Amino acid sequence: MRAALAGLLGLGSLVLAACGGDGGESPPAVRVAMTAPGDGAVVREGAVRLRGRVAPAGAAVRVEGETVPVRAGRFDARVDLEAGGNVIDVMATAPDRSPAMTAVRVTRRLTVRVPDVSGESPDRAVERLADVGLLARVSDVGGVIDEILPVGREVCETDPEAGATVDSGATVRVLVAKVC
């Protein structure tokens, strides 16, 4: 049994050597910790201030591929955001250490004003809402008299109302009738 165990250990050493390993321990890794913003943060601004700590204190840090200054083991960088989801990559390296990498997810929400589409055709209203990043749900609110009138339907109002501020991608209810 001992001979088999010794043979197995010897085979493991050969495999490590063949793969470039020397059987020794790998160097300690750089440590990187993000302090702001929190992972999964939702913001409305066009940029965030990314802050964190790194050890050893002299490690080099790259945010989105750009080198950022490190002072006393702390780093701070301004990162521009696209609308929607953003993944910000952070990498830290130091001599005689394994590199460390992390990422922070930040969502940038945009707000828009609901345009005044009263009096427009339903198709034109849907188009104008889409132009500013809003979805439309058209609801016919006309009554029995609407069925016999020889005129086209038009937008009476929206919900939320014209001028309201909403998140981009929100749905606006478009109320239409032949007579408002």
% of the chain beyond a pLDDT of 70: 87
pLDDT in tens, 21-45: 455 678 899 999 999 999 999 999 9
DSSP-based three-state secondary structure for 69: coil
Give phi and psi for 70, each to the nearest 5: -120, 125
- Kindly report, residue by residue over 144-167, the tens digit of the pLDDT: 777 777 888 999 999 999 999 999
Give the SS3 label for residue 3: helix
Of residues 109, 120, 85, the one with CA closest to residue 165: 109
pLDDT per position as a tens digit, 93-147: 999 999 999 999 999 999 999 999 999 999 999 999 999 999 999 999 877 777 7
What was the pLDDT predicted at 108?
Answer: 94
- What domains can be seen in the chain, in order of their start residue? 26-108 (2.60.40.10), 111-177 (3.30.10.20)
**pLDDT the model gives residue 127:** 97
For 65, list phi and psi in degrees, rounded to 5: 85, -5
Dihedral (CA of 143, 147, 151, 155) sign: positive
Q: Which amino acid is at 14?
A: L
Predicted pLDDT at 132 = 93
Q: What is the pLDDT of residue 42?
A: 94
Residue 8 has pLDDT above 60, yes or no: no
Residue with tokens 């009476």: 156
Task: Phi first, then psi: give them for residue 147, nearest 5 degrees.
Answer: -65, -30
Measure the CA–CA gap between 115 and 107, rounded to whole angstroms.
Answer: 25
Task: Answer yes or no: are the C-beta atoms of 137 and 171 closer than 8 Å.
Answer: yes
The rounded distance, in Å, linking the Cα atoms of 132 and 162 is 13
pLDDT > 60? residue 20? no
Res 15: pLDDT:
38
Q: Report pLDDT for 172.
A: 97
